[in-house]
Structure 1
Amino acid sequence: MQRALCRAAQRSRSLSSSRRHASTLLVAEHDGTKLSEGTLAAITACAQMKPITLLVGGSAEMAATAAKADGVDAVQFVDNDALNHGVAEEWAPLVEGIAKTGFTHVVAGASSFSKGLFPRVSALLDVAQVSDIIGVKSEDTFVRPIYAGNALATVKSEDAIKVVTVRPTSFDKAAAEGGSAAVSAAAVDFSATGTTTWISEEVAKSDRPELASAKTVISGGRGLKTGDNFAMLDSLALKLNAAVGASRAAVDSGMCPNDMQVGQTGKVVAPDLYVAVGISGAIQHLAGMKDSKTIVAINKDPEAPIFQVADYGLVDDLFKAVPELESKLP
């Protein structure tokens, strides 16, 4: 009888906590000067889960910039160099500690940063993670793709603290200016764990748009045969002010670096125009680009699966078609 009463009391506390008014801790991703596109999209996604508190780590100066984002109610910052490079081992205990101060949701844009951080946060909080959502039905119900995007699942979380990542391409980006959130130092004791040491990073710089946020994307696949042939796409992209991506097959064969990969295990993009060159259209690749507004496919195989999702298809040798297409552009 005592055990039954204990279980009833625990269930009562659980239900009480699940009915708390929503309050969102949004973990900000930034480059030291501006918020990422994923964070701005997450602000929009959290409109039903206000108030929104943005957690900024590594730079007190960045907190003032983040406070200008439209839709943010408050900004908490932790000024510590250990947080500057997004090392998940340092971030996880910090996010866990702040999340327990009264937040019902912990949210971030789906990115390499959150993919490393949020599973750790979920484990520390002992809750399930809802990943890569593309829709918000209510404070506890979300829509996310499953089976490589071939089906959509509506997921209801009954956890007291909901840990959620947001697919950036599925939500409009909040304005980076126009807000006036209150800024304060996070009321937590934070000290670096020292378990992981940041050594260095190599960032590829380009005058072209970033792949994840570009309005036009040109991607190459195994049909290009060698990495040197990607120069054709670079030349075409220059005229279209486009980003250049690649299929997993092209990345796995060493033709281009991993950060160019588009697909379920790479970047998910939804540009106004997506041009697939020499890409067969494997399911995992389609999952990363089929939400593009207009899809153009160039492939010499008329049975290639890419043509099933393409708005326009050209069955031709890409080594002939791409140079001809470029010559027609101003």
Structure 2
Amino acid sequence: MAENPATPAPANSRAAAKKDLPEHFKAYKHVWVFIEQERGHVHPVSFELMGAGRRLADKLGVELAGVVLGGPGEATDHAVAETFCYGADVVYTVTDPVLENYRNEPYSKALTDLVNTYKPEILLLGATTLGRDLAGSVATTLLTGLTADCTELEVDADGSLAATRPTFGGSLLCTIYTLNFRPQMATVRPRVMPMPDRVQKPIGKIVTHPLGMVEDDIVTKVLSYIPDRDSAKSNLAFADVVVSGGLGLGSAENFQLVKQLANVLGAEYGCSRPLVQKGWAATDRQIGQTGKTIRPKLYIAAGISGAIQHRVGVEGADLIVAINTDKNAPIFDFAHVGIVADAIRLLPLLTEAFRKRLSPHISDKLAG
């Protein structure tokens, strides 16, 4: 049976596999993070990965590098400068008008050429729509392994990347190793890793690399840009306060109670997967393994059981308040505050209490 490039491996085989790596694999060093930018903005997941990459690079005793691809101009220059402020020792860049807008073909070529030329040991990308598309193409071209949607990244004693992700529908966590291929690639969803502190630093070492293709070489063309207005309505991943509802609410009408509390708190609202499946809420409001990962200061979960599929999307919250009638619900195992109560009765009371308490403060701010 052919070996899967990215495969779970017994601990006693990992050291042997690393020892028996081909001689040319020893040239692969350093940790790279792909800095995703679109329409002049760097996606926050890139800087979250810089924090994770810094930790891995320090353990391995190697450099942390950012990879910036884009068109020439202030946006790309700013992305390079910010990458140093988030901990990069060096930044690799490919700057060309062809890269002004994301297209799989030129971006894949640029990143693949960089890897083949400078040989990183670990390559991390955000598990965004763009990042997933790019990572799959690059891993296939390089004939290496790719572990997708990771929730944890670690380096073993033998220096191997241990990439952990949910599997079997989220019922288990699996740690995957890429033993006999380089680079070791992984994608991580936004908000899974904490955002590191930004430290103002001067621009450091920059390595530029040519793209080696022109516009006529590319089949796809960008004719215009139409923003996704629906997705703009939800800012779940970066909200400070999120109120969410689950099947325990019983009906779409009762889900309105979640929206009402979120409105009073100036918060975003979300839901568990079953509510999307029932049509009670839009897909962009789903939180969990197959939805959004969030890291708010406060997360209020009403009528959500808290299965592992949901847990992986919320456990990074600073404070989790769970409301459920079932005292044995799994969500109470990881919630910071658990309330055994009927959410349908409690949510309106909370909404009214917060409205009375917050309204004077809001009025004062408006007056000021």
TM-score (norm: length of structure 2): 0.73
> Counterpart of 1:50?
63
Shift of 1:248: 0.8
> Counterpart of 2:143?
126
Shift of 1:268: 2.1
Instruction: State which of 82, 89, 98 in structure 1 corresponds to 2:114.
Output: 98
> Counterpart of 1:186?
209
User: 1:178 and 1:237 mapped to 2: Cα distance?
Assistant: 38
Report % sequence identity.
24
> Counterpart of 1:4?
none
Shift of 1:125: 0.6
> Counterpart of 2:30?
23
User: 1:113 and 1:256 mapped to 2: Cα distance?
Assistant: 25
> Counterpart of 1:41?
48
Once the two structures are superposed, residues 207-229 of structure 1 have per-residue CA deviations (whole angstroms, 9 ceiling, x without a partner) of x8x32233332222234455565
> Counterpart of 1:285?
310
- Note the 1:137-152 alignment, pairs <5 A: 137=155, 140-147=160-167, 148=170, 150-151=172-173
Once the two structures are superposed, residues 194-218 of structure 1 have per-residue CA deviations (whole angstroms, 9 ceiling, x without a partner) of 2476773413445x8x322333322
User: 1:41 and 1:149 mapped to 2: Cα distance?
Assistant: 26
Give the conservation status (yes or no) of the 8 Å contact 2:241–2:267.
Answer: yes
User: 1:195 and 1:134 mapped to 2: Cα distance?
Assistant: 35
Q: Which runs of 5+ in 2 are unaligned?
A: 1-17, 359-368
Instruction: Tell me whether 45-54 or 132-141 shows the greater mean CA deviation.
Output: 132-141
Give the conservation status (yes or no) of the 8 Å contact 2:94–2:110.
Answer: no
Q: 1:51 to 1:223 in 2, by over 3 A?
A: closer
User: 1:18 and 1:133 mapped to 2: Cα distance?
Assistant: 27
User: 1:91 and 1:214 mapped to 2: Cα distance?
Assistant: 31
> Counterpart of 1:294?
319
User: 2:192 and 2:164 mapped to 1: Cα distance?
Assistant: 13
Calculate the aligned-residue CA RMSD, in Å: 3.3
* Higher helix proportion: 2
Once the two structures are superposed, residues 109-157 of structure 1 have per-residue CA deviations (whole angstroms, 9 ceiling, x without a partner) of 2323222221221111101113315233265322413443744626353
Shift of 1:306: 2.6
- What secondary structure, in the 3-state scheme, does the structure 2 residue paired with 1:262 have? coil
Shift of 1:180: 1.3
- Note the 1:236-315 alignment, pairs <5 A: 236-315=261-340
Aligned length: 317
> Counterpart of 2:9?
none
- What secondary structure, in the 3-state scheme, does the structure 1 residue paired with 2:24 have? helix
